[in-house]
Structure 1
């Protein structure tokens, strides 16, 4: 056991056999319930004595993933109100050792996920000389529902509060508060895309890694207010914070899950607005798309996606085989491209692709690849990557899907929570390369390949033989100019 002193009080952590020390379940904000419901995060109450930080803390309330995603992305649920907590892994040097810090923002479509799942264990980062932090933030209605009279984007404000805790306390764990890299995947990366633009987050991190998400996923205020009104109508309440707070939590979570299902089964543009394409009823709210400029936000960026992201959403649900040619044309037009121009470009790469496979490629670019490119273009000196190793699951059809890169980044290929995605023998050499690049970026700002620019468009391809490639699939990239 070892003890470190935070601004709220002393915490006791556990030393593992390899010398890494973990401190789990440390509160970074007060429990967001009672009078603090739907408010900005407040400082936690200090404590006397030494607080045990030996096990994960409670997780924020959330509806479970629907099948089959509940099996693909298993979640831990720990009840309790003190759910705004974080976890630290450190090589355990003395306080003030000045090690680089990496802070993970988990994904989950702004409705699911937790920083305390075993797949996000930060021990491998600590083993390699980096202090790693993971945390939970409010989700769904409590974190992102757009309501009058209370702060918006409360989940983002929680993330800022966690980063402020890191700034104020991480030196006690051997970290350097001036060398913080924030990294996240999916909704976590989309959150970071908004943190890059948020005044409250300025100066809290020096570098950022965005995996499968950037700045393009958000709801405009009118859309978000409409979704809040619709959810309130389903619950037979007024769309006010007081009314939502009065709904029993179990009933509220059930309604959140039903809202997600309704978004897919009732595709009414008048009801859902841009959420109909994003497929997420809860997202950060902002007036319009913004990208950081060349001198803003003043952080180093590493951004990318997986090669076949959208297969994650189509293959396990068997929706990919149900896509017709007519549906493919409708979706291409909805994404803002001319089907007669776009579909031949995508089929030139895979002439035998089914309509569902072509839709998967098109949606991958709309959701993930092109937003990553736009962010890299906006901030000179950014680094771009693509993850291309293909999972053998679902007869190999799952491919290089969404979330498949995460176990490689954390160097946790054999964690049981990833088994349904990875299959029996994922390549350790690729984990060594990808995890090593993330560590290098956190330490030096250089992941080990040339920075992206609009002349060479150098992109690191993490596949069977990792290496940089100049402008992969240029015709498909150029299709989205002026569209996304």
Structure 2
């Protein structure tokens, strides 16, 4: 009797298992029955979520967890899995103390195990038998110490609803991503991005995507990352177009000696010898964040240093030179069509964030002197101090925005056009000038086009992420910006594809035509590149020396 009961129990369990098992064999059978929530990628099967007209797959691993012995190591592709992996919930953001504005930080928390990406996919495919959907890979910003692709601001449903696949990725930040010593490259965070792009090339066809129509898009530190991919052999042939928004190119990347100096400060703060990797690996993430904060505090008030304490490292291997130096000479490893742009008031966020009290005229002059040395008098002629007893933060904001963002963008564009005989890429330039009618989550950004103001408009997440109630004109404006992006991602030309009555022709920059797209609810086309005395001055005195004739590439 006991044996009979045992046999009945075994049969019952087997029956249940056959009904509910998520084995690869069963699910692959279901895939042929058009089960859209399950996709088979190189490493195994994943289950996502179906939302209206698109599908979302959250938290797909593109590398092994960089923990334990893999901390301070180049990323490694993940191990495969046998059963279906649940990809219906977002993963934690990489280790950081996120202080970004509303919607740009994860609500889930942080983890050192963070090398995951999210994929937003249209449900309706024109041809289900072929991989034909263009792909946009978004690289988030945050000064290389904070930020995540897994947040409300970058929720990409609107793009997916317009037949574009969007991949939002994460990468290691701060010391964990950019610790550079004689033994450590300092480029772990950048290589995380590279392996994520490799993952896209290997797996995106499983979602109906076209691996030969990949656009990388980054803002701020993400834009600096995009330009790093333009000049790195490690990223060769991994994308076909690029969008560069508000890149602080004047700040550049750390040299090996600079990276070692910062890493030495960090090691001292955390209580390890700089070359004692085992000691560094033994520290908790809480201790790491505390040491990072102490290092960053030592740069307080130094505008040219505090914004990017940690960056990728020019190591003459992964990154062969400063991006502005390579572009000065017309050298791009990845020669692709580009959208490049900035907001009107880039500098306000950084100046007011770092100086919460008024800046006197004397202090302003000292700051300019520390930024420009012997050329400070030339700069003060163009950006004179405010009258006595008035706040100089507004003029410093304009100066910083021009020098770090706007004029270095202009320099980059002009040099690429100058070298266009070498078949360098088609370039579209924009200036975002619109101040949101509902205000801005950051008080000192209200009424102006602050750094990153365009992101909620591009992703159409102004309401869901920021809680903004835009008027009808602004809603259509946001949709039109997204249409330009979708068209560019789809065919390399922002004008071909989705359109509306408000959209105008966005001409590429050329040797004979310098019209930029002015992003306002009533779009304008205007030449803001050709004549600019302030930018001419910065071109002449160089951008931190990166564009001087004496600046060199790495030895061949």
User: TM-score, length-normalised on structure 1?
Assistant: 0.89
After TM superposition, where is structure 1 displaced by more than 6 Å over at least 4 residues in a row?
A: none
2:283 alignment partner, one of 237, 241, 247: 247
Residue 342 of structure 2 is matched in structure 1 by 305
> Unaligned 5+ residue runs, structure 1?
268-274
1:384 aligns with 2:429: yes
2:532 alignment partner, one of 465, 474, 477: 474
Tell me the SS of whatever aligns to 2:539. Answer: coil
Q: 1: distance between equivalents of 2:247 and 2:130?
A: 33
Tell me the SS of whatever aligns to 1:128. Answer: coil
2:92 alignment partner, one of 49, 53, 58: 58
Tell me the SS of whatever aligns to 1:167. Answer: helix
Q: 1: distance between equivalents of 2:538 and 2:296?
A: 28
- Asked if the contact 1:144–1:152 (Cα under 8 Å) also holds between the matched residues in 2, the reply is yes
When residues 300 and 70 of structure 1 are mapped into structure 2, their CA distance, relative to the original with a 3 A threshold, is: closer
Alignment of 1:109-188 (within 5 A): 109-188=143-222
Q: 2: distance between equivalents of 1:136 and 1:395?
A: 28
Q: 2: distance between equivalents of 1:479 and 1:370?
A: 10
- Asked if the contact 1:91–1:126 (Cα under 8 Å) also holds between the matched residues in 2, the reply is yes
1:470 to partner: Cα distance: 0.4
When residues 119 and 148 of structure 1 are mapped into structure 2, their CA distance, relative to the original with a 3 A threshold, is: same
1:106 to partner: Cα distance: 0.5
2:132 alignment partner, one of 90, 95, 98: 98
Tell me the SS of whatever aligns to 1:291. Answer: helix
Q: 2: distance between equivalents of 1:364 and 1:454?
A: 26
Tell me the SS of whatever aligns to 2:90. Answer: coil
Residue 227 of structure 2 is matched in structure 1 by 193
CA-to-aligned-CA distance 1:15-34 (integer Å, 9 cap, x gap): 112x1011110000000011
1:278 to partner: Cα distance: 5.6
Residue 88 of structure 1 is matched in structure 2 by 119
CA-to-aligned-CA distance 1:125-163 (integer Å, 9 cap, x gap): 111111100011111111011133234310000000000
Q: 2: distance between equivalents of 1:368 and 1:332?
A: 16
**Segment drifting more, 210-219 vs 39-48:** 210-219
Residue 459 of structure 1 is matched in structure 2 by 516
Alignment of 1:63-78 (within 5 A): 63-65=97-99, 69=100, 73-78=104-109
1:433 aligns with 2:470: no
When residues 276 and 362 of structure 1 are mapped into structure 2, their CA distance, relative to the original with a 3 A threshold, is: closer
CA-to-aligned-CA distance 1:404-441 (integer Å, 9 cap, x gap): 1111111111123x34xx67659212212211111111
Residue 414 of structure 1 is matched in structure 2 by 463
Q: 2: distance between equivalents of 1:201 and 1:112?
A: 23
- Asked if the contact 1:260–1:280 (Cα under 8 Å) also holds between the matched residues in 2, the reply is no
1:254 to partner: Cα distance: 1.6
- Asked if the contact 2:94–2:173 (Cα under 8 Å) also holds between the matched residues in 1, the reply is yes
- Asked if the contact 2:173–2:189 (Cα under 8 Å) also holds between the matched residues in 1, the reply is yes
User: TM-score, length-normalised on structure 2?
Assistant: 0.78
When residues 89 and 64 of structure 1 are mapped into structure 2, their CA distance, relative to the original with a 3 A threshold, is: closer
**Segment drifting more, 70-79 vs 162-171:** 70-79
Residue 362 of structure 1 is matched in structure 2 by 399
- Asked if the contact 2:463–2:469 (Cα under 8 Å) also holds between the matched residues in 1, the reply is no
Residue 270 of structure 1 is matched in structure 2 by none
Alignment of 1:251-270 (within 5 A): 251-264=287-300, 267=302
> Unaligned 5+ residue runs, structure 2?
1-35, 316-320, 418-425, 496-505, 544-556
CA-to-aligned-CA distance 1:285-331 (integer Å, 9 cap, x gap): 11642334266421111111111011112346663x51222232233
- Asked if the contact 2:105–2:148 (Cα under 8 Å) also holds between the matched residues in 1, the reply is no
Q: 2: distance between equivalents of 1:133 and 1:119?
A: 14
1:375 aligns with 2:412: yes
Tell me the SS of whatever aligns to 1:402. Answer: coil
When residues 405 and 446 of structure 1 are mapped into structure 2, their CA distance, relative to the original with a 3 A threshold, is: same
- Asked if the contact 1:22–1:89 (Cα under 8 Å) also holds between the matched residues in 2, the reply is yes
- Asked if the contact 1:76–1:114 (Cα under 8 Å) also holds between the matched residues in 2, the reply is no
Residue 4 of structure 1 is matched in structure 2 by 39
Tell which structure's C-alpha radius of gyration is larger.
2
- Asked if the contact 1:263–1:279 (Cα under 8 Å) also holds between the matched residues in 2, the reply is no
CA-to-aligned-CA distance 1:74-99 (integer Å, 9 cap, x gap): 44343455411111111133363311
Residue 224 of structure 1 is matched in structure 2 by 259
- Asked if the contact 1:237–1:244 (Cα under 8 Å) also holds between the matched residues in 2, the reply is yes
